[in-house]
Each structure stands twice: as C-alpha cells, then as structure tokens.
Amino acid sequence: MPNLKEVKNRIVSVTSTQQITKAMKMVAAAKLRRAQEAITQMRPYAQKLNEILQNVSTAQVETPFAEQRDVQRVLLIAVTSDRGLSGAFNANIFRRIRILLDEELRGYQAQGTLEVMPIGKKGLEYYRRRDVKSNTTFSGLWPNLSFDEARRTAEYAMDGFLEKRYDKVLVVYNEFKNVATQIVRVEQLLPLLPAEPATNTAAANIDYIFEPTKEEIVTELIPKSIKIQFYKMLLDSRASEEGARMTAMDKATDNAGELLKELKLTYNRTRQAAITKEILEIVGGAEALSNG
Amino acid sequence: MFLEIITPDRRVFEGEVDSATFPGAKGSFQVLTNHAPLISTLAQGRITYVSKAEGRRTLEVDGGVVEVLNNKISVLVERLISE
C-alpha cells in the first residue's frame, strides 16, 4: 500500500506544477495576441508594396536577385525559438531539415558547401552539437524582434547571394495557421522565383507618373519585397511558437488535472484503509479486554 | 487629401493633410490636392507635411517609396531616422 505521506507530497508537487503550466499558458496567450498584432501591423505595408510592384512590374527588369546560377553553395536559415516548452515546435523544424539534408541537399551537405544559419537559441544549441556547418551570426534575433533586425539578417543573405557566397537561400520556418496548427514550410528566399503575372488589371490601367523610371523603381522595390517576405516568416514563426506553447501548456494542465484526480483517489483510499485498520484494531483490542 | 505613412512595424501617421513634401530620388517635390497619379522612390531625407489636425510635422526617413492616387498618398518607409 502506498505511503500516505508520499502520496500527499506528490499531490502538492503536481498541484504546483499545474499552477505553473496554467500561468505559462496564459502568458503564451498574451504573447500570442501581441505576435498576431505585429502581423496585422505589417500587413498594410506588405500589401501596398505588392500593389506598387504589380503596377510597375509591366517593365521587364533583370534583377540580380533572380539570377539562376549553377547551385554550388546553399544557405539554409532555420527559424527556431529561444525558449522551449512549446511542444514539437522546434523538433518539427529539425526533423524537416534532417530530411532535407538526407535527400535533396545531400550532396551539398557531403561536400561541406551547405551552411545552416539557426535563428533562436534552440537551433543554435542543436546545430552546435551536430556535424553541420553552422553560421551563428544572427542567432540572437528574438529578444527585440523588429523589422530593422529582420532586415539586417535578410540583407546578410542578399549580400551573400550577390557576392556569390551563396547560390541559393532557403528558409525553414513554422507558418502560423491558427493557434493549434503550425505548418512547417521550406521556402526559397533567393534566387527569386519568377513572379506570377499581375492579376490586378484595373490598377495597371492608371496612367502613373514614374519617378525616376519604372525600371529604377522596380530595382529599388525588389530588395524591400524580399526583406518584408523574410520579416513575415519571422513574425509567423513567433506567433506559431506562442500558439504551440499555449497548446502544449494547455495539454500539460489537463494532464496534471487527471494525475491529481488519480492521486487524490489513491490518497483517500489509503487514508480510509488506514482508518479501517485502526478501528479494527481498537475493536479487536476492546473485545479482547471484555472477554478477559 | 489623405496621407498615410507606414513602416513594417507600425502606422506612423494617417490623416488629412493640406500638402506634403518628399525627398524624391531626383530632388525634393511637393504634393498638393488633385496631384496626378505618381509613383516615386524616396532618397534619405525629410518628409514634411501639413496635417489638418496637428499642423506642420517633419520626419526623417532612410528612403522608401510613395504612391499618389486619387488624393490618397501612401508612403512606405523601411526605417525612420527621427520623428
């Protein structure tokens, strides 16, 4: 039979764990809201930029960012989180990259021409311990994420592409679908994939004055568009992280509740058994006395 | 006419203005009501606008792009140097 005191101690410890997971869930919920707000804040900028790009994209411009080269060196940006306790959030990223390294990018990995650039402490720790060439320049991006920080990282990759240090830049990140669902995505940041033809024909008919010229505007806007694309991935990842943490902590709280229920049952059973035993002893003792 | 200035992080300004001056790539230019549709890139410099609510204000930006269409000016700026 379990020791009464031991069971009681476990109940106390599970209760406090449950309080922690509950608090973490609420903190994650608040942070998720802020992360979603950041996405909402970024949207008007991204939309307008796209609109303007479509208006000028009738001009055929050769941008160096779209140059298709024979791929020699690959940069793989792995967007992970700084903190754990968020379910399979980071593990999903690592698993996806493992598959990439074993399959599509196998040759580059073998030749050592593939660099993994982890963003976030979890990725940093993971790739430090592994046989992967890693680039840790921007691993500490999260604490004060702003567009400016994201821009620097994107510019690093873009400069690397222009200077032919990388021929291809991929980003692996968690896309935010909803609070409970994150989708791991692999997206090609560079070279730029050919843009879809403009669908917005109404806007294309407006007779704009272009200053300085259409071509120069396109040349200036394309890097901006790459940067905002990258920023969006980071914001998505941050919202996903908090969503994943919220779900994980919600599950943990539920599990703790179930465990508590069982422990309380054990506790009460044990207690009752002890009382019954005691009564039996007293009755037995009294009977022995009266019989004597 | 309506002016909005947006960065990826936030909306810096939106409201009715009487005029707005931009640091265009080929020199500063001013936009008044009923300006023709225009798309222009911006160089580093100052954006000055006369807001109906707040009066004359100046922002320093790192470059960007501006679109003028039907009395609506949209300014996209990556980074504000000072407000």
The CA distance from A94 to A92, in Å, is 5
pLDDT of A64 reads 87
B32-61, pLDDT tens digit by residue? 999 999 999 999 999 999 998 888 999 999
Distance (Å) from the alpha carbon of B83 to chain A's nearest alpha carbon: 16
CA nearest to A204 within chain B: B37
- A108 Cβ neighbours under 8 A, 6+ residues apart: A71, A73, A74, A114
Distance (Å) from the alpha carbon of A104 to chain B's nearest alpha carbon: 34
pLDDT of A131 reads 83
CA nearest to B80 within chain A: A148
pLDDT of B82 reads 82
Structure tokens at A168: 């291809």
At how many degrees (to 10) do helices A147-162 and A214-291 cross? 120
Structure tokens at A267: 């506790």
Handedness of CA A257, A262, A264, A265 (dihedral sign): positive
Q: Which helix (H) or strand (E) holds A214?
A: helix A214-291
Distance (Å) from the alpha carbon of A212 to chain B's nearest alpha carbon: 7
pLDDT of A53 reads 86
The CA distance from A280 to B10, in Å, is 75
For the cut 90, the answer to whether the pLDDT of residue B83 exceeds it is no
| Alpha helices per DSSP H over B1-83 | none
B29 interaction partners in chain A (CB closer than 8 Å): 211
Closest partner CB to B37 (pick from A44, A147, A208): A208
When scoring B2, B5, B10, B38 by the number of chain A Cβ atoms within 10 A, the one with the most, hence best to mutate, is B10
What percentage of chain B exceeds 90 in pLDDT? Answer: 81
A38 interaction partners in chain B (CB closer than 8 Å): 9
The CA distance from A242 to A35, in Å, is 8
Closest partner CB to A48 (pick from B24, B37, B74): B74
The amino acid at residue A77 is: I
When scoring A53, A208, A234 by the number of chain B Cβ atoms within 10 A, the one with the most, hence best to mutate, is A208
The pTM score is: 0.87
pLDDT of A195 reads 63
Q: Is the ipTM of this complex over 0.85?
A: yes
What percentage of chain B exceeds 70 in pLDDT? Answer: 100
When scoring B5, B26, B39 by the number of chain A Cβ atoms within 10 A, the one with the most, hence best to mutate, is B39
User: Is A52 in contact with B9 (Cβ distance < 8 A)?
Assistant: no
Q: What is the CATH number of domain B2-82?
A: 2.60.15.10
pLDDT of A211 reads 83
SS3 A240: helix
Counted residue by residue, chain A has a size of 292
pLDDT of A119 reads 94
- Evaluate the omega torsion of the peptide bond into residue A143 and state whether it is cis, within 30 degrees of 0: no
Map out the domains of chain B as residue ranges: 2-82
Q: Flag residues of chain A having pLDDT under 50.
A: none
CATH architecture designation of domain A26-247: 3-Layer(aba) Sandwich (3.40)
